[in-house]
């Protein structure tokens, strides 16, 4: 089931009327897995609820599977929806919860009792909880409730699955498992899925395409790799992970940072003027300096990389370095090499991430 | 040494700070205010001898009065259930003007002296009353009949239902109804399958409170009931009648039966509440 969203506008109720959705357009192809990410208040949940029919936009269109759905009640849209807090019916057993969507069908369309029981059993197996049909949701762990909510949403075989922060209440280990499992399920059942999350890592892990939202607008809509290499704005860069920011000037083909202890680097095809360089901590390289370098101190380890604190005078930055390289800098000062940075000018991307040439590090050390 | 260690450990896992103080004061107050009078009530009937008690227990007027009390209280509480739930629903969900005034009015039956309630209802439903006169023309008489008792008990019982259901309805997450809608439920299916079952334990609690209040209600009933023995005489009134006749075994035996049957009824309500609370309230019987 494809979804097309055309210039949706939605204002918050009340006299201040904050704009929740500011002309949002989005295309989700059949079979796509799209994640909507952004800080709270970005409008991602409002967008999802508009697709489900739980929220009525003021203008714009939602087209599901080629059919405009304005004025259609949620129950007529055939979408599966998983709420952040799962919204399980606590007075019903797990089996009854899962069967709900089938039980409420009009008599003519409702499958027989035996068929419903069989479908519930099938879904319980799918969510790997075959023995918990008679349990009440209260007895389940967070991860189990989450899977029951998903089974309930899938019982009527919707083509479109909408997930509103479905992993928010889970602990990190369970979260990673469930995430992988949902992706597998999406592929297995050939679903079209829209996931809302404020966790960028989650979005990059699970989705084909990530839509970054800010203040009711879509800032960038791209696959994870493009987002990483060519973030459209500094906001996207910052939102998608830890980043370091260096102001500077471009003059005669070189980016010259305003910051001391940070090396200049060549940039072709950019006119002179101010610019901002942004880089991930693990992309920074260090050059040992014989004199007047910035002091380096180890502060921890992450993902097998050494976390270093570099004192640049006016501020301290934290970077990640592989272990053998890291230890060589403790005794001498360093200069930061940020030539892999993306460059922004006037809030927009001016140069994408660059693959650093290998072996350059040593060359430069000897040059100094 | 070991003993000392154990006491410190016990103290460390004490779930309630000031447990001893709480326990002593609880026992003291429950003892003085509830258990002591009830014990006296249970003891008193037997003081005149077993014979007097058995004689008193064979009084058919007493059983008629008890029947009137329990049946009226039950019917009134039962009729109050839909009324109270709808009222609570309106107060919570509908954004009507004057909602706050209505909200304040709900509690008034608690505050008005019950005799005032009784006289007001008797006047209203009497043969010349605003409601009584048109109803009389239709052949329906409410005042001075058993129906009048039910009307009076509905009035005093209604706030219990509303106040039990209202907070639960207010706290009901909106996403439950949204989820049901997305799963294909029509509005009436959402109400009957999702909302009402969630409200059921609170409704049963409110029913139990209204029912208990109805059994014991005296002031509002005697003015509207007509108080004919065997037909519209309630048990609390018969106790007063017996006291005025200086028939203490008769009065206390009615009170004793009232106590026993009320306890059984309330135990039944508690059992029902646990049953309907499955999955809804932590620790409810599964």
What is the three-state SS of B182-221? HCCCCHHHHHHHHHHHHHHHHHHHHHHHHHHHHHHCCHHH
Chain B: closest CA distance from residue A34 (Å): 20
Does residue A235 lie within any of the structural domains?
no
* Surface-to-core class of residue A41, CB atoms within 10 Å of its CB (0-12 exposed, 13-18 middle, 19+ buried): middle
| Residue A236 included in any domain | no
List the single best residue of A99, A104, A151 to mutate versus B (max B Cβ within 10 A): A104
Closest chain B C-alpha to A147 CA, distance in angstroms: 15
From the CA of B280, how many Å to the nearest CA of chain A? 5
One domain for residues A69 and A134: yes
One domain, residues A90 and A207: yes
**Beta carbons of A136 and B286 less than 8 Å apart:** yes
Within a domain: residue B45?
Answer: no
So what's the pLDDT on residue A199?
85
Is the pLDDT confidence value at B285 over 50? no
Q: pTM for this structure?
A: 0.80
Residue pLDDT, tens place only, B141-171: 888 888 889 999 999 999 999 999 999 999 9
Q: Are residues A100 and A180 in the same domain?
A: yes
For A55, name the nearest residue in chain B, comparing CA atoms only.
B178
User: Any chain A CB within 8 A of the CB of B199?
Assistant: no
> For chain A, how far is it from start to end, CA to CA, in angstroms?
60
Q: What is the extent of the structural domain holding A347? A: 242-366
Which residue would you say has higher pLDDT here, A124 or B40?
A124
Of the candidates A172, A205, A229, which is a domain's last residue?
A: A229
Q: Do the chains contact at A75 and B183, CB–CB below 8 Å?
A: yes
Q: Of the residues A229, A253, A270, which one is the last residue of a structural domain?
A: A229
CA distances from A311 to A297, A334, B5 (A): 8, 10, 52
Percentage of residues in chain B with pLDDT exceeding 90?
37
**Residue A211 and residue A298 in one domain:** no
**Residue B261 structure tokens:** 């049957």
Domain count, chain A: 2
Closest by Cβ to A91, choosing from B173, B182, B197? B197
Would the CB atoms of B176 and A138 count as touching at under 8 Å? Answer: no
CA of A190, closest CA in chain B: separation in Å? 20
Note whether B198 contacts A91, CB cutoff 8 Å: yes
- A294 to each of A151, A299, B100, how far by Cα in Å? 56, 15, 67
* A77: chain B residues, CB-CB within 8 Å: 182
Cβ pair B183:A54 closer than 8 A:
no
The CATH number of the domain holding residue B68 is: 1.10.3720.10
CB-based contact B65:B234 (threshold 8 Å): yes
One domain, residues A128 and A272: no
Query: Distance between CA atoms of A275 and A266, rounded to whole angstroms?
Result: 13
Q: Does residue A292 lie within any of the structural domains?
A: yes
Same domain, yes or no, for A182 and A301?
no
Residues of chain A with pLDDT under 70: 326, 355-368
Say if A134 falls within a structural domain: yes
B175 touches chain A (CB under 8 A): yes
CB-based contact (8 Å) between B173 and chain A? yes
pLDDT tens digit string along B225-277?
A: 888 888 888 999 999 998 999 888 888 888 888 888 889 988 999 999 888 88
Total domains in chain B come to: 1
- pLDDT at position A348 is 87
- What's the domain range around B157? 50-285
Among A163, A194, A229, give the residue marking a domain's end. A229
Contact A327, A339 (CB under 8 A): no
Q: Across the interface, which of B181, B197, B278 has its CB nearest the CB of A74? A: B181
Does residue B21 belong to any structural domain of this protein?
A: no
A91 to B278: CB separation less than 8 angstroms, yes or no: yes
Does A136 contact B at CB distance below 8 Å? yes
User: Could you tell me if A220 and A317 lie in one domain?
Assistant: no
- Chain A interface disruption, residue of B178, B183, B203, most A CBs within 10 A: B183
A99, A159: one domain: yes
pLDDT value at residue B286 = 38
The string of pLDDT tens digits covering residues A46-104 is 999 999 999 888 888 999 988 888 888 888 888 999 998 899 999 999 999 999 999 99
């Amino acid at each position: 089931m494809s979804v097309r969203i055309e210039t949706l506008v939605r204002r918050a109720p009340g006299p201040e009327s904050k704009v929740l959705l500011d002309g949002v357009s989005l295309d989700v192809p059949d079979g796509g897995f799209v994640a909507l990410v952004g800080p709270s208040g970005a409008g991602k949940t409002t967008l999802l609820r508009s697709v489900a029919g739980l929220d009525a936009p003021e203008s714009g269109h939602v087209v599901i599977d080629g059919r405009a759905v304005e004025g259609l009640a949620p129950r007529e849209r055939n979408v599966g929806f998983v709420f952040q807090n799962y919204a399980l019916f606590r007075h019903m057993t797990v089996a009854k919860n899962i069967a709900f969507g089938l039980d409420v069908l009009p008599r003519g369309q409702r499958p027989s009792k035996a068929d419903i029981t069989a479908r519930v059993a099938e879904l319980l197996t799918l969510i790997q909880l075959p023995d918990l049909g008679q349990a009440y949701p209260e007895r389940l762990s967070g991860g189990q409730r989450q899977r029951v909510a998903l089974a309930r949403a899938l019982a009527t075989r919707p083509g479109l699955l909408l997930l509103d922060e479905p992993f928010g209440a889970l602990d990190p280990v369970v979260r990673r498992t469930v995430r992988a499992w949902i992706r597998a399920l999406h592929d297995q059942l050939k679903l079209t899925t829209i996931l809302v999350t404020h966790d960028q890592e989650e979005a990059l892990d699970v989705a084909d395409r990530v839509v970054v939202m800010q203040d009711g607008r879509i800032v960038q809509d791209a696959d994870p790799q493009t987002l990483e290499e060519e973030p459209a704005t500094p906001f996207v860069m910052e939102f998608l992970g830890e980043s370091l920011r260096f102001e500077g000037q471009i003059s005669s083909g070189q980016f010259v940072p305003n910051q001391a202890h940070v090396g200049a680097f060549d940039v072709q095809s950019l006119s002179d003027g101010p610019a901002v360089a942004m880089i991930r901590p693990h992309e920074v390289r260090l050059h040992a300096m014989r004199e007047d370098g910035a002091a380096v101190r180890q502060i921890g380890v992450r993902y097998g990389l050494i976390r270093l604190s570099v004192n640049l005078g006016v501020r301290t930055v934290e970077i990640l370095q592989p272990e053998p390289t890291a230890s060589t800098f403790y005794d001498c000062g360093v200069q930061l090499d940020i030539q892999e940075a993306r460059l922004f000018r006037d809030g927009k991307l001016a140069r994408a991430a660059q693959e650093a040439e290998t072996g350059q590090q040593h060359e430069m050390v000897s040059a100094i | 040494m070991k003993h000392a260690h154990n006491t410190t450990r016990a103290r460390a896992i004490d779930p309630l700070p000031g447990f001893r103080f709480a326990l002593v004061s609880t026992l003291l107050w429950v003892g003085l205010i509830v258990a002591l009078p009830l014990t006296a009530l249970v003891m008193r009937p037997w003081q005149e001898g077993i014979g007097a008690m058995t004689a008193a227990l064979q009084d058919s007027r007493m059983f008629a009065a008890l029947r009137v009390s329990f049946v009226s209280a039950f019917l009134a509480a039962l009729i109050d259930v839909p009324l109270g739930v709808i009222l609570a629903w309106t107060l919570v969900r509908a954004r009507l003007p004057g909602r706050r005034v209505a909200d304040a009015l709900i509690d008034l039956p608690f505050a008005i002296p019950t005799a005032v309630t009784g006289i007001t209802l008797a006047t209203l439903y009497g043969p010349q009353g605003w409601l009584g006169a048109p109803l009389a023309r239709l052949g329906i008489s409410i005042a001075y009949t058993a129906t009048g008792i039910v009307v009076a008990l509905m009035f005093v019982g209604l706030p219990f239902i509303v106040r039990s259901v209202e907070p639960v309805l207010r706290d009901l997450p909106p996403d439950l109804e949204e989820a049901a809608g997305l799963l294909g439920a029509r509005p009436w299916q959402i109400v009957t399958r999702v909302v009402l079952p969630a409200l059921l334990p609170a409704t049963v609690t409110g029913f139990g409170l209204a029912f208990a209040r109805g059994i014991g209600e005296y002031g509002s009933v005697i003015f509207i009931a007509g108080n004919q023995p065997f037909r519209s005489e309630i048990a609390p009134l018969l106790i007063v009648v017996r006291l005025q006749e200086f028939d203490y075994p008769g009065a206390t035996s009615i009170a004793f039966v009232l106590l026993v049957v009320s306890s059984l009824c309330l135990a039944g309500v508690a059992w029902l509440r646990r049953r309907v609370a499955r999955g809804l309230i932590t620790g409810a019987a599964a």
